[in-house]
Structure formats: structure tokens, C-alpha cells
């Protein structure tokens, strides 16, 4: 449990620092006169950098685990933050986002693998503990931006490098634990009793394709909220920037709570049920959101964040059970694909917002959870 908590805390620090980037968008857009397309490109650069590298790193660490690489990844994030604080040109902001994305690509596959190895068999619970740290960090980031970065300016981002240094210390100790307990050696082949039922290669590929379609639905919709929710509140309801950041915190806090429950519920009731309910079950709320008043907009984002976020721990563990012995590969693939869909979603939705309006974006995205019906095609693997 101490290792799981250390990994979760490091995930909190990692995602808290990452979430500063979208939380700064209103300030950066005003200071540098950025278009919505340019705002989307910043997210695109960060998330594509992470998404392209994560599957490669995950597959590599399955064959040759490198637990000390966790601290190296946090070092990339530190460099990105310092560059973000000093950047005065759009190209520099993109480079800073790319460095933060590289740090994320190193962190997620290896830390997910260590979390599974420290799970004691409660894989869903371990995945939730690991992931909820990131969700809490993502929720805290906008608050820190609202009360520190907005009043003190862009240069104050450099102070968050202290959190990156703390993360390096913690992850170095986690890496030492992994090495001393033999977890850094090549992962053994799974015992026959631990493996998923023999489904056949075609059935496994089909199930993975369904899971990736569900990730597309989830993260395209989340991109509309994480990148553009503050702009929607500011333009549609004329909310102050600080108040919009606090309302974003409400949504991200609900995301963190949903992540806590998603893994244990999957352990207890089956991951397919949780996946089905979390994607398709959010549809009524997303359909109501574009037509709601300010009060009900804030209220509706809470169940949207809670229900939708419960899917990801269940999806990751389900995929790991489909492909036993390939924990890092699966984690890298799904975290990377999630980042990639968020990146493409941010860029596409930014262009759509420039061509139409933020309101139109939310009316279109409201239908994305209908893809949750594809979960009926998933085989049962528990």
C-alpha cells in the first residue's frame, strides 16, 4: 500500500503540473492573442507527444523494466515547466508543452506496471488508487492557476518546479523499491490460472478495438470540457475567469471521485458492467448540458465527470486481462491513445469553435456517449 500511495502521490504531482497548461489558456490567449486553433494546438502538442511515445515505452519496459526512468520522466516535466514560465513566443509554448508530454509518456506506463505488481491481486483497486492521484492533481491545477498563476503572472509557473523536484525524490525511492524487490527484472510469463480465458487472437483484437472506440468517445468529450469549459462559461454566461476556474475544479473533482469507485466496482461486479454503465449512462446528462442554465450547468458536470471517469480504471484492467503479461504495453497503449484522442479532440473542437461557436461544440459532443452501446460486444474475461 505504501508503494501504491507513493505512485498515486507522484501521479498527483505529475498531472497537477500538466493541468496548469489548459488552466492558463485564458491568460495565454489574452496575452499573446491566440486563436482557438492555436489554443488547441498547444493541447495537441502536449498530448500527441505523450500518446506517440507511451505505447513504445510501455512495450520496451515490459521486456526491459526501467523503474528509475520514473524520476527521469519527472525531470522532463520540470524542464517543460521552466520553459513555460519563460516562454514569450508561441513556438516556445509548444516546445514547453512537448517536454511536459514527454515526461508524461515516461511516467504512465512504468508507474502503472509497478502499481499492478504492488496490487496483491486487487488489480482494479490498485489501478483506481494510481489513477485517482492523477485526477486529484488535475483538479487542483486549475485552483492553483486561479489563485497563484493568474495574480502573479506567467513567470510564477517556475515555482511549481519545486513539486517536480519532490516528485523526482519520491519516484527515485519507488524505483529503488522496485529494483530491490526484483520487480525490475523481466516480467515472468503469467501462470495459466492467472491468464484470461482463451478467446482467440481475432476475438482479442476485436475487444481491443471496441475498448479503443470507447476511449475515443470518452476523451473526445472530456477534451470539450478540460480545454474549453472555462471559455464556455465566460462567453455563454459571462462568468469571471477565476470563477470559471473554480467551476472547472468542481468538474475535475467529480472526475477524481469517479476514478476512485471505478476500479473497485469492476473488481466486485465485473469490469464489462462498469464500462457499459459509465459510457452509455452519462448520455442523458450530456444531452441536457448545452440547454442548461449556469446553475444546472455546474450541477450537471458533476455526474458527467463522476460517471464517465469510472470507465478508465475498468478499461485498463480489462485490457490487461485480455493480454496477460503485457501490463506496460497495455498501459502505454491505452494511456497513449487517451492522450492522443484528447489531443485530436482539442484541435478539432478548437477549429470547430472558431468556425461556429463554443455552444455548437457542446451540442455536437453531447452525442458522443452513444458509442457506449458498443460495450455489448465485449466478451467476459473475469
Model confidence pLDDT, tens digit, residues 36-67: 788 878 877 887 787 777 788 877 877 777 77
Q: Is residue 369 part of a domain?
A: yes
Q: Assess whether pLDDT exceeds 80 at residue 370.
A: yes
C-alpha cell at 13: 504531482
Confidence tier at 289 by pLDDT (50, 70, 90)? very high
Q: Assess whether pLDDT exceeds 90 at residue 366.
A: yes
State residue 193's pLDDT score: 41
Total number of domains constituting the chain? 1
Confidence tier at 136 by pLDDT (50, 70, 90)? confident
Confidence tier at 378 by pLDDT (50, 70, 90)? confident
Q: Is residue 86 part of a domain?
A: yes
Concatenated DSSP letters of 228-280:
THHHHHHHHH---HHHHHHHHHHHHHHHHHHHHHHHHHHHHH-HHHHHHHHHH
Q: Is residue 382 part of a domain?
A: no
Model confidence pLDDT, tens digit, residues 349-359: 888 888 888 88
Of 188-197, 282-291, 309-318, give the range with the top mean pLDDT. 282-291
Chain mean position to CA 259: 11
Q: Assess whether pLDDT exceeds 50 at residue 188.
A: no
Q: Is residue 136 part of a domain?
A: yes
Q: Is residue 201 part of a domain?
A: yes
Q: Assess whether pLDDT exceeds 60 at residue 237.
A: yes
* Cβ atoms of residues 20 and 152 within 8 Å: no
Q: What percent of the chain has pLDDT over 70?
A: 95
Q: Measure the CA angle with vertex 80, ends 127 and 25; round to 5°.
A: 85
State residue 292's pLDDT score: 93
Model confidence pLDDT, tens digit, residues 102-129: 888 888 888 877 887 787 777 777 888 8
Q: Is residue 70 part of a domain?
A: yes
Q: Is residue 62 part of a domain?
A: yes
The whole-number average pLDDT for the span 287-306 is 93
The whole-number average pLDDT for the span 262-285 is 84
Backbone angles phi, psi at 61, to 5 degrees: -75, -20
What is the helix, strand, coil percentage profile of the chain, to 5?
85, 0, 15
Distance CA 135, CA 16 (A): 8
Distance CA 361, CA 351 (A): 10
State residue 199's pLDDT score: 67
Q: Tell me, what CATH number does 359's domain have?
A: 1.20.1250.20
Model confidence pLDDT, tens digit, residues 1-41: 888 899 889 989 988 888 788 778 778 888 888 887 888 78
Q: The domain containing residue 238 runs over which residues? A: 2-189+196-377
State residue 130's pLDDT score: 84
The whole-number average pLDDT for the span 158-187 is 79
State residue 195's pLDDT score: 43
Q: Is residue 357 part of a domain?
A: yes
Confidence tier at 182 by pLDDT (50, 70, 90)? low
Amino acid at each position: 500500500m505504501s508503494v501504491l500511495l507513493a505512485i498515486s502521490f507522484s501521479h498527483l504531482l505529475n498531472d497537477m503540473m500538466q493541468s496548469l497548461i489548459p488552466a492558463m489558456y485564458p491568460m495565454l490567449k489574452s496575452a499573446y492573442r491566440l486563436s482557438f486553433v492555436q489554443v488547441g494546438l498547444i493541447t495537441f502538442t502536449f498530448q500527441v507527444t505523450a500518446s506517440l511515445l507511451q505505447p513504445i515505452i510501455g512495450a520496451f519496459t515490459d521486456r526491459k523494466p526501467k523503474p528509475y526512468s520514473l524520476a527521469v520522466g519527472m525531470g522532463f516535466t520540470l524542464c517543460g515547466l521552466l520553459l513555460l514560465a519563460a516562454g514569450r513566443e508561441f513556438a516556445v509554448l509548444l516546445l514547453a508543452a512537448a517536454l511536459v508530454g514527454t515526461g508524461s509518456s515516461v511516467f504512465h506506463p512504468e508507474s502503472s506496471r509497478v502499481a499492478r505488481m504492488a496490487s496483491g491481486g486487487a488489480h482494479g483497486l490498485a489501478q483506481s488508487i494510481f489513477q485517482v492521484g492523477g485526477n486529484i492533481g488535475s483538479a487542483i491545477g486549475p485552483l492553483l492557476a486561479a489563485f497563484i498563476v493568474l495574480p502573479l503572472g506567467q513567470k510564477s509557473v517556475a515555482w511549481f518546479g519545486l513539486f517536480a523536484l519532490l516528485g523526482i525524490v519520491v519516484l527515485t525511492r519507488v524505483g529503488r523499491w522496485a529494483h530491490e524487490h526484483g520487480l525490475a527484472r523481466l516480467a515472468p510469463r503469467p501462470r495459466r490460472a492467472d491468464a484470461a480465458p482463451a478467446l482467440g487472437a481475432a476475438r482479442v483484437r476485436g475487444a481491443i478495438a471496441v475498448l479503443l472506440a470507447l476511449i475515443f468517445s470518452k476523451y473526445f468529450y472530456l477534451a470539450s470540457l478540460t480545454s474549453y469549459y472555462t471559455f464556455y462559461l465566460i462567453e455563454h454566461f459571462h462568468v469571471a475567469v477565476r470563477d470559471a476556474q473554480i467551476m472547472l475544479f468542481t468538474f475535475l473533482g467529480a472526475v477524481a471521485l469517479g476514478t476512485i469507485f471505478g476500479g473497485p466496482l469492476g473488481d466486485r461486479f465485473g469490469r464489462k458492467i462498469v464500462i457499459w454503465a459509465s459510457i452509455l449512462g452519462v448520455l442523458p446528462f450530456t444531452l441536457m448540458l448545452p440547454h442548461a442554465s449556469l446553475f444546472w450547468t455546474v450541477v450537471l458536470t458533476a455526474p458527467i465527470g463522476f460517471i464517465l471517469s469510472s470507465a478508465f480504471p475498468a478499461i485498463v484492467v480489462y485490457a490487461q486481462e485480455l493480454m496477460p503479461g503485457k501490463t506496460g504495453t497495455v498501459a502505454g497503449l491505452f494511456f497513449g491513445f487517451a492522450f492522443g484522442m484528447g489531443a485530436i479532440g482539442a484541435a478539432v473542437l478548437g477549429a470547430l469553435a472558431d468556425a461556429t461557436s463554443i455552444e455548437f461544440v457542446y451540442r455536437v459532443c453531447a452525442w458522443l456517449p452513444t458509442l457506449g452501446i458498443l460495450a455489448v460486444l465485449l466478451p467476459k474475461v473475469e
